[in-house]
Amino acid sequence: MATTTKMVYKNEDNLMINTRLMKITGLYQLLDSRTSKIFGQNMLKCMSLVELSIMFITIVIFLANTYYFSDDINAVMQYSILFTCDVLSILKLYVTIVKSDTIWNCIQMTSIDDLSYKYHNRSILRNGRLKSKSYSILIMFMWMNLIIFWALAPLFVTNYFLEVEVKKKIYRYRFNIMNFVFPATDQFYNENFMIYYYIEFACLIIWCHCTMNFDVLLLSTNITFKYQLKTIANSFSAFNIKHYIKNNFTKNIKHHKESELIFDFKSIIYDQQRVIENMRNIYRIFQPVVLTQLAFESIIIILLSCIIMMNYFNGISLLSAMNLRLIAAVLTFTFHIYVICYLFDNVNQQKDSINFALYSHDWTQSNAQHKILLLHAMRMNNAENLRLQVTKNRIVNFKMFTDIMRTTYSILSVLGKMCAKKA
């Protein structure tokens, strides 16, 4: 795996990732070794370490809150959700910082000019760049909308209080974004509610920033791989043997054309090998995060749905601000799992299509050397079983999304029946 850092100076506009968005969020500067330094260290990495510290503090607060509200199953589930979200963000940011050099090198290979074969259809890559930028903006707005729902809800919920019992005395704290329990009396807290509100809002923004940055990177690289493989498959299927061997009247000319044929065909194979190697490097980095994310977000969806059901059976309307923000979170995490599974499935299908593309060009008219090279290329593709795997038999694809949703629905159906009986 490459560990040295490469530089990009003039080719940023040709990268398939959304460099403009990455610069706005600071992700580009975090990965780029040219970024201004503090005490010899990347400035954005230092700021990221501050973010990590803040999120570690919030984890401690969530654990303490879970202890204070241990008798309230609804509160325990809510703090468990927030704790899980925080752990995920810490993992994402940590991996991005530690593997920044490798990620930076992989990003350089997302340029539409990176593939060496001169007859590639570059319009496919340009379409992929537009798709990558669109998905990046979509995922950014998805998380930002969730932040807006969660940030605005406490401003509309003024008649709900969290009750904490300390030394047989009940303290009633006004409902807030994440409901941190601060070492202050309920009277002081409620009178200075907006101060505590801004503290929690800042923590929410930090969480969103770390989560969003990693997802932009993950989705952009996935879309890049899909369209690079699509371009290579298109070049294989459109490879025209007649262009090389037609109208050759002398042995020397024919030999020259056949050498050019082999050279160009090898260029396409070389491009494919470089894309596969880049995928392998990225998958090594992203695999533990993606698998943890899918598992944790499935649990989060279940817990959120349970809280919504319990609120409903306790007489809280589904259209209330409290439930609307929970519903927004369920929809956001469900859509997030869908996008991840959908894009990985697309990459898998595109990779599998290359053998068909190899076979579909007019290889029957070529010479023996080209046929042997074609056979080796097909064998190489069959042997290369690169997938983001959960187990040997389970991979991240659209089927996994349907399995997750089916399991979630089964669990919620049982819990719904139990709540209905108690009500």
Region 23-31 average pLDDT: 84
d(CA 256, CA 241): 14
d(CA 85, CA 293): 9
Q: How confident is the model at residue 247 (pLDDT cuts 50, 70, 90)?
A: very low
Q: How confident is the model at residue 124 (pLDDT cuts 50, 70, 90)?
A: confident
Region 97-104 average pLDDT: 86
Q: Which residue has the tokens 């998805």?
A: 142
- Asked whether residue 385 is assigned to any structural domain, the reply reads yes
pLDDT at residue number 332: 92
pLDDT at residue number 366: 63
pLDDT at residue number 7: 42
Other C-beta atoms closer than 10 Å to the C-beta of 108 total 16
Which of 2-16, 105-119, 158-172, 265-279 has the least mean pLDDT? 2-16
Q: How confident is the model at residue 74 (pLDDT cuts 50, 70, 90)?
A: confident
Region 220-243 average pLDDT: 80
- Asked whether residue 158 is assigned to any structural domain, the reply reads yes
- Asked whether residue 365 is assigned to any structural domain, the reply reads yes
Contacts of 328 (CB under 8 A, 6+ apart): 145, 146, 149, 150
HEC letters along the chain = CCCCCCCCCCCHHHECCCHHHHHHHCHHHHHCCCCCEECCEEHHHHHHHHHHHHHHHHHHHHHHHHHHCCCCHHHHHHHHHHHHHHHHHHHHHHHHHHCHHHHHHHHHCCECCCCCCCCCCHHHHHHHHHHHHHHHHHHHHHHHHHHHHHHHHHHHCCCCEEEEEECCEEEEEECCCCCCCCCCCHHHHHHCHHHHHHHHHHHHHHHHHHHHHHHHHHHHHHHHHHHHHHHHHHHHHCCCCHHHHCCCCCHHHHHHHHHHHHHHHHHHHHHHHHHHHHHHHHHHHHHHHHHHHHHHHHHHHHHHHHHHHHHHHCCCCCCCHHHHHHHHHHHHHHHHHHHHHHHHHHHHHHHHHHHHHHHHCCHHHCCHHHHHHHHHHHHHHHHCCCCCECCCCCECCHHHHHHHHHHHHHHHHHHHHHHHHHC
What digits encode the pLDDT tens for the residues 155-181?
Answer: 887 777 877 776 777 888 888 888 888
Tell whether the model's pLDDT for residue 193 goes beyond 70.
Answer: yes
pLDDT at residue number 8: 43
Which of 66-80, 103-117, 316-330, 354-368 has the least mean pLDDT? 354-368
Strands 161-166 and 41-42: unpaired
- Asked whether residue 259 is assigned to any structural domain, the reply reads yes
pLDDT at residue number 383: 60
pLDDT at residue number 382: 63
In this prediction the pTM is: 0.85
- Asked whether residue 7 is assigned to any structural domain, the reply reads no
More confident residue, 159 or 281: 281
State how far the alpha carbon of 237 is from the alpha carbons of 112, 232, 241, 355, in Å. 20, 9, 11, 10
- Asked whether residue 10 is assigned to any structural domain, the reply reads no
- Asked whether residue 282 is assigned to any structural domain, the reply reads yes
Which of 68-72, 302-306, 332-336, 373-377 has the least mean pLDDT? 373-377
Q: How confident is the model at residue 240 (pLDDT cuts 50, 70, 90)?
A: low
Q: Which residue has the tokens 């991240």?
A: 396
- Return the structure tokens found at 222: 């996935």
CB burial class (10 A; 0-12, 13-18, 19+) of residue 165?
exposed
pLDDT at residue number 363: 61
Percent of the chain with pLDDT over 70: 84
Region 250-268 average pLDDT: 62
Region 404-423 average pLDDT: 76
More confident residue, 228 or 260: 228
pLDDT at residue number 173: 85
pLDDT at residue number 43: 82
pLDDT at residue number 203: 92
More confident residue, 71 or 292: 292
pLDDT at residue number 329: 92
Region 22-43 average pLDDT: 80
Tell whether the model's pLDDT for residue 3 goes beyond 50.
Answer: no
- Asked whether residue 404 is assigned to any structural domain, the reply reads yes
Q: Tally the C-alpha atoms within 13 A of residue 368's C-alpha that lie toward its C-beta.
A: 0
Tell whether the model's pLDDT for residue 197 goes beyond 90.
Answer: yes
Q: Which residue has the tokens 């070794």?
A: 33
Angle of CA points 275, 96, 390, to nearest 5°: 65
Average pLDDT score, the chain: 81
Tell whether the model's pLDDT for residue 262 goes beyond 80.
Answer: no
pLDDT at residue number 254: 46
Region 322-326 average pLDDT: 86
Q: How confident is the model at residue 414 (pLDDT cuts 50, 70, 90)?
A: confident
Q: How many domains does the chain have?
A: 1
pLDDT at residue number 83: 93
pLDDT at residue number 202: 93
d(CA 289, CA 295): 10
Residue-range definition of the domain harbouring residue 223: 26-422
